[in-house]
Amino acid sequence: MNTISRKAHLAEKIVFVDGLPGCGKTLFSTLIASMDRVELLSYTYEVEHICALYYLDKIPIDAAKAMVSMQTDLKIYNTMMGRDVNFRPTDLSSVFKNHNPSRYLQRLFGPGDEKVPEMIQQENPILNFAVHNLLSYSEPIWQALGGRCVFIEVVRHPLYMVRQQALNMRHLLGNVRNFTVYYAYQGRELPYYIYGWEKDYLNSNHMGRAIHFIDKLTHRTKKSRKKLKEKYPAKIITIPFEKFVLNPEPWVQKIADALGTNILDSTRKVMSEQNIPRNMVADGIDIEIYKRCGWVPTQEGTTERDELEIRREDVVKELNSELISVLDRLSSEYEQEFWNPDEHN
C-alpha cells in the first residue's frame, strides 16, 4: 500500500488554543489574534476530526499526518485571499471582532491564486486556531507540523468549568448541530472522547457526566502532555486561567515569544475589554454568551475561596456522594498543581 505524503508546506507557524469547555479559550484566542502577524481566530474542525478518527484507529498515521498538513496549508492559502473567512458580524470569530477588519476586506479585492505563496512568504502570517480538548489526541498534529506548532493549553479550576460542561452534556446526544466524531456503542452514538468510559457516561446525569468528563480528560491530557514533550520539539504552554487574569503580563510575553511575534496596542485594548488584570477571578465581562454558559458575577465582600464554595454548593445538589468525592479530588489536585485560591485573598 502506498504511503500518503505531503512534504511541502505553506503555513510556517500555527498556534492552537486548547482546553476543556469553559476554560476561557475564547479570551486567549481573541488576545492572541491582536498580536503582530497573527490571523483572525478560526476553528479547524477538519483537523479535530482527523485526530478523532486516528484515535479511534479509523485512519493510519501517514494519512492523518498528511491531511493535517494539507488542511493547515489550505487554511492559510484561503485566508490570505479572503476565502473561508467569517464576516458574520456577531460571531466571536468574525472579521468585525478583529482589531484590524480592513485587512480582511482588502484581501477580498487583492491578488490571489499563484500570488498567495509569495504573499505568505512576505507577510509571514501566524494561523490562530481555537480547538476543543484536543491536546491528548494531537499526535497527528505534532507528526505533521513539528516545531511549526505551538499549543496554548488553558486550564481552569473545575468548579469554574463544570456548569458549562453540564449544559453541553444536556445537548450532546441526538443534536444535529453537534459536529463531533461519534461512534456506535450498544445501539447509541457516543462522542469519540467517551471511548473507554461509556458505562460511567451512560449511568450518570448531566452533571455527573460533566464530572467524569473533566476527570477522564484532565488525566489523559496530563499523560499526553508529558509524552509529547519527550517525543517531539513540542512547544506547549500550559496557562492557569486564574493566574493569567490576576497577573497577565508574564504570560502574554511568554506567548508572544513562543510565536516569535510582538505585543501591540491592540493587545492592550483586548486585555482592557476583557477586564484584565482583575481583582477577582470571576470579575469577567457581562455578555450574553458567557451568562448562557453559566457565568455569574462575584458577590460583594467574598474571597476567592468563597466564590469557589458558592459554585460547589450549586453543583453538589445534582451529585451523589461518590461524584462529590471525585469533584473534590479534582479541585484539590488543581489547587495543588496550578492555583491555590487561599494565596490570593
Note the pLDDT tens digit of each residue in 111-147: 989 999 999 999 999 999 999 999 999 999 999 999 9
pLDDT 10s digits, 8-43 = 999 999 999 999 999 999 899 999 999 999 999 999
Residue 183 is classified by DSSP as: E
The H-assigned helical ranges of the chain are 25-33, 45-55, 61-79, 101-108, 116-123, 139-145, 158-170, 198-202, 206-231, 241-246, 249-259, 265-273, 288-292, 304-316, 321-337
The kind and range of the H/E element at 239 are strand 235-240
- Do 239 and 152 touch, CB atoms closer than 8 A? yes
pLDDT 10s digits, 202-248 = 999 999 999 999 999 999 999 999 999 999 988 999 999 999 999 99
Q: In angstroms, rounded to a whole number, what is the distance separating the alpha carbons of residues 245 and 12?
A: 30
pLDDT-derived band of residue 174, with 50, 70 and 90 as boundaries? confident
What average pLDDT does range 38-63 have in this prediction? Answer: 96
pLDDT-derived band of residue 292, with 50, 70 and 90 as boundaries? low
pLDDT 10s digits, 181-207 = 999 999 999 999 999 999 999 999 999
> How far is residue 93 from each of residues 31, 217, 305, measured CA to CA in Å?
12, 26, 33
Task: Based on DSSP, count helices (H) and strands (E) in the chain, helices before strands.
Answer: 15, 7
Residue 59, SS3 per DSSP: coil
What's the mean per-residue pLDDT of the chain? 92
> Higher model confidence: residue 44 or residue 172?
44
Selection from 33, 29, 27 nearest residue 17 by Cα: 29
What average pLDDT does range 169-182 have in this prediction? Answer: 86
Q: What backbone phi and psi angles, to 5 degrees, belong to 130? A: -100, 125
> How far is residue 138 from each of residues 10, 15, 131, 164, 303, measured CA to CA in Å?
20, 13, 11, 24, 37
Percentage with pLDDT > 90 across the chain? 82
Beta-bridge partners for 240: 155
Rounded to the nearest angstrom, the gap between the alpha carbon of residue 229 and the centroid of all alpha carbons in its chain is 19
0.85 exceeded by the pTM?
yes
Which amino acid makes up residue 223?
A: K
Q: In angstroms, rounded to a whole number, what is the distance separating the alpha carbons of residues 82 and 29?
A: 20
